[in-house]
Amino acid sequence: MGWESDSNSGFELTARSNLEAEIDEKLRQEWLELIPILGPRAWQWDQLVLLKRQVLSRILHFNNIYQEILEKPGEIFEFGVQWGAGISTLLNLRSIYEPFNHSRKIVGFDTFNGFPSLQKKDEFRNSVGERELPKLGSYSVETNYQEKLERFLSLHEQNAPISHKKKFELVKGDASSTFPKWLSENPSSICAMAIFDMDIYKPTKDVLENLIPRLTRGSLLVFDELGSPNFPGETIALMEVLGLNKFELHSNPNQPYVSWFKFE
């Protein structure tokens, strides 16, 4: 386990074995060779020939949690967007399950520059047993990527019913400050589902505290790193704001550390 980096994404923590990393690279190379062969079919069913089980598991996870809120009004919030795979999947699931529900807005919050700051409560034990903080800027994306993601999501929107109404929003910046501002500008907002994937303590706690007045019975709260020893800040934030013994936690055995519960 360690931090991997490239020129576009800063650092990301990975637990992949050497063999898994080797297979990932082989699949990537195969995909690069397959794209020109498939041509236009690269964007259709045939693209799935190289889909990894881990990615399929992630899609199924989003599918499962989306179905939990079909009878709940309100927005879907995703805190921690990064490259946008999550919010893109959510937009497509909305088009499948509730294509005419134009009141279901999906709002994504991200710095797009990775972790903005860290606290002592974010410390974890590394592979040699030493206490360490995650790296500032981890999970960043390329400069001005938000504009590209806006285009991608707009194309998904155009491929759905009621496409003249924009039903998504990207909010750039530290959610500790951008989310309270967004709420003040959207006083009618209620939360159907909030997905927490910021990993670290302070923004998770700040968002939770501001979110509580917008929750209803049955609002779904989803945590991507709950119980993870590598990102303890997320669990600590939930413990301090809502506690762990008031709700029935659910998990997916194919998505380690992902947990969710319905607010009661």
Residue among 28, 29, 20 at smallest CA distance from 1: 20
Interior CA angle at 212 toward 209 and 214, to 5°? 130
Whole-number pLDDT of residue 8: 55
Per residue in 120-170, pLDDT (tens digit) is 999 998 888 889 999 999 999 999 999 999 999 999 999 999 999 999 999
Cα-Cα end-to-end distance for the chain: 37
d(CA 12, CA 23): 18
What are the strands, taking DSSP E only, across 17-139? 75-79, 106-110, 124-125, 131-132
What is the Cα 40 distance to its own chain's centre? Answer: 29
d(CA 6, CA 259): 29
Q: What's the mean pLDDT when you consider all of the chain?
A: 92
Per residue in 73-97, pLDDT (tens digit) is 999 999 999 999 999 999 999 999 9
Q: CA dihedral in degrees (127, 24, 62, 11; nearest 10)? A: 50
Average confidence (pLDDT) over 245-261: 93
Whole-number pLDDT of residue 40: 80
CATH 3.40.50.1370 at 53-262, yes or no: no
Position 16 confidence tier, pLDDT thresholds 50, 70, 90: low
Whole-number pLDDT of residue 4: 57
CB 172 within 8 A of CB 114: no
Domain limits, the chain: 1-51, 53-262
**Residue 12 confidence (pLDDT) above 70:** no
Q: Scan for tokens 């297979």, then name that residue.
A: 23
Average confidence (pLDDT) over 174-198: 98
CA distances from 91 to 99, 152, 177, 219 (A): 10, 11, 25, 19
Q: How much is the pTM?
A: 0.90
d(CA 191, CA 224): 18
Residue with the bigger pLDDT between 202 and 264: it is 202
**Residue 5 confidence (pLDDT) above 70:** no
